[in-house]
Structure 1
């Protein structure tokens, strides 16, 4: 059973690119920055666990489901069920021609060939024949095939960012429903939700210390990163989560700036401020990369100063955005 004519394309970020491909499949016409912004995807998390001693993440944990909620698109979601129950739900939807979003650990996705655990990584399952699954993974130009047993390991991995993955899936519920909300009304709602999350009013966060508070904690602790047993890897992984690993550059801020640029009700000032913050994140990423090669006290102190300045700029930006909408 395979979803026919699924419009797979690679993209900047796994979650927003998967949503963009689903949007093309259902005829909604949203590009990737719109999907990212309408899902209130911009965020920040700082956690003392993960593939390194400290993990940072520049997006929210709720991007994919909030996209559907904001647009009032009916969807079904499963989380925390055993493999058999969860996989049966997926196969039932595939049999009906419905693609299903999954959240997995890259380590077990053999086509990556990586020895680093990284998850949840978002992809879309578009087929299964029992022995293999067919996956739309936005990191690749072509559809991928994977043994079902390896998906089982990836989908329920013990090595998520802040805890085990839990066979989570998400799918549109119904026959190609159209969004009920207009882009402007949905965008206003999504910006408000993102601002609340960044400024500390949204308790839905699951990835450590959230929002501006998380950036400030990150800034305070950076000068001591040189004392970590895995200081070089922690700095390297943080650099990757700023500039690489599907962020679109600048810790997802460039992707969010491209979203804001499409909104006619906002002044261009907000786009430019967000792009400037993205540049600041890229500069911090370079300092972290330097720290990964030479983990000195001076480098991490400089990184802490950069992160503190970013926190100030982001607090002001999201406070202004919340007032504006």
Structure 2
């Protein structure tokens, strides 16, 4: 409890000095490495920084490029990888008691690392194989050549993640930055390399053994790369993305679907119907929070980080105007996430556990796997505990949905204006 209060004090102090939203300031505070002991000897020479930052894919790429002696900010890389997006989707599974919901607030579905690297003039090699032996040989050859390897693992098999819903597949990119006979060392969110027993790594990597390496660098023009990335972001926010009916779930259209669903009290796709049972209500609200602040995103639905990218790019005044608008929309999304977890004491408990878990993942990683697993188990038990206690009545649940609907509608209004600003800029640059 004392450590948690200390963390909150440090975060609020940073907020005062930087103007950051709470969740962004928290990630920066956690990323300040205090354990300065040397990395394990098996880690590649020159790989000096792991974890940190606010957006895991951008941070991972920043660390990979730093190992090559190339320096870019997390915000610049986030923007070059496509920046922001929005996917709203609801799924029903036979063995799950209520529908599930996902929001992806970062650029999606274009793979982030290849997109950012391509715009920066880097070439990559991506291989997959069903053969564990072939995959192990490729990984060993990459490391022997002095290069890290980005491997796509099953996140549920990484003990320091403590996945609360392991029933859902979740491909997750990590950098393999060293290995010995028994252990593989990963750059995966923690400010220390995360060691994983080789047999556990092989089990987590077993599906396709996907491996990405950076093979070379060529010429590139940064302003051109920025304009191309912004145009792609605008295009995917306004559509189409995939070229078929599912495009309605992406971008501004996807945001509008979420807004409508939160405000719908009668329809089959409204949250009053989808998540009317108490445990489903709890699950949907905590999932909404996590998708806007923690998973497939940077804090504030990635909008504050994208605003930093636009401010750093500063190609003209429209970028500054759009940056201010996206910063405002990020505040709306963070406020919505906070509202979701303020609806019941059990949700507030989930919030406390989530913060403690994040602190351990970033500062301790594998060393705190047992504690992270215990926290995750308690988090997973909370929907049922809420339903068995004194849950909100249907009318009280609808009042919560009404408040969330208003906040989401406000965010959508700001985002439409921000996208219009960038769309005008992109059209002018192409004319």
Give the TM-score normalised by structure 1: 0.85
Q: Is the 8 A contact 2:321 2:421 kept in 1?
A: no
* Residues 86-137 of structure 1: per-residue CA shift (max 9 Å, x gap): 4433332122111112233332112334444373333211122243211011
Counterpart residue number, 2:29 = none
Q: Is the 8 A contact 2:58 2:77 kept in 1?
A: yes
Counterpart residue number, 2:401 = 300
Q: Is the 8 A contact 2:328 2:414 kept in 1?
A: no
2:151 to 102, 107, 113: 102
* Residues 275-320 of structure 1: per-residue CA shift (max 9 Å, x gap): 0110111111122223474571111122123223323332332232
Provide the rounded CA distance (Å) in 2 between the counterparts of 1:227 and 1:127.
Answer: 48
Q: Is the 8 A contact 1:40 1:191 kept in 2?
A: yes
Shift in Å, 1:191: 0.5
Counterpart residue number, 2:335 = 283
2:239 to 188, 200, 211: 200
Counterpart residue number, 2:375 = none
Alignment of 1:192-271 (within 5 A): 192-203=231-242, 209-223=249-263, 224-225=270-271, 226-227=275-276, 230-245=280-295, 247-267=297-317, 268-271=320-323
Residue 8 of structure 1 pairs with residue 49 of structure 2: yes
Q: Indicate the structure with greater helix content.
A: 2
Counterpart residue number, 1:188 = 227
Provide the rounded CA distance (Å) in 1 between the counterparts of 2:255 and 2:249.
Answer: 8
Provide the rounded CA distance (Å) in 2 between the counterparts of 1:90 and 1:41.
Answer: 29
- Change over 3 Å in CA distance of 1:217–1:81 after alignment to 2: farther
Give 3-state SS (helix, strand or coil) of 2:260's partner: helix
Counterpart residue number, 1:310 = 411
Provide the rounded CA distance (Å) in 2 between the counterparts of 1:195 and 1:130.
Answer: 47
Provide the rounded CA distance (Å) in 2 between the counterparts of 1:5 and 1:272.
Answer: 37
Name which of structure 1's ranges 11-20 and 263-272 shifts more when overlaid on structure 2.
263-272
Alignment of 1:120-199 (within 5 A): 120-137=171-188, 139-156=189-206, 166-174=208-216, 177=217, 179-199=218-238
- Change over 3 Å in CA distance of 1:255–1:155 after alignment to 2: farther
Shift in Å, 1:262: 0.3
Residue 54 of structure 1 pairs with residue 85 of structure 2: no
Provide the rounded CA distance (Å) in 1 between the counterparts of 2:186 and 2:240.
Answer: 36
Counterpart residue number, 1:71 = 120
Provide the rounded CA distance (Å) in 2 between the counterparts of 1:307 and 1:80.
Answer: 43
Name which of structure 1's ranges 36-45 and 214-223 shifts more when overlaid on structure 2.
214-223
* Residues 200-227 of structure 1: per-residue CA shift (max 9 Å, x gap): 1332999992211221122222243332
Residue correspondences, number: 313
- Change over 3 Å in CA distance of 1:182–1:131 after alignment to 2: same
Give 3-state SS (helix, strand or coil) of 1:141's partner: coil
- Change over 3 Å in CA distance of 1:89–1:72 after alignment to 2: same
Q: Is the 8 A contact 2:57 2:113 kept in 1?
A: yes
- Change over 3 Å in CA distance of 1:130–1:203 after alignment to 2: farther
Residue 37 of structure 1 pairs with residue 79 of structure 2: yes
- Change over 3 Å in CA distance of 1:230–1:83 after alignment to 2: farther
Give the unaligned 5+ runs of structure 1: 157-164
Residue 92 of structure 1 pairs with residue 141 of structure 2: yes
Q: Is the 8 A contact 1:250 1:281 kept in 2?
A: yes
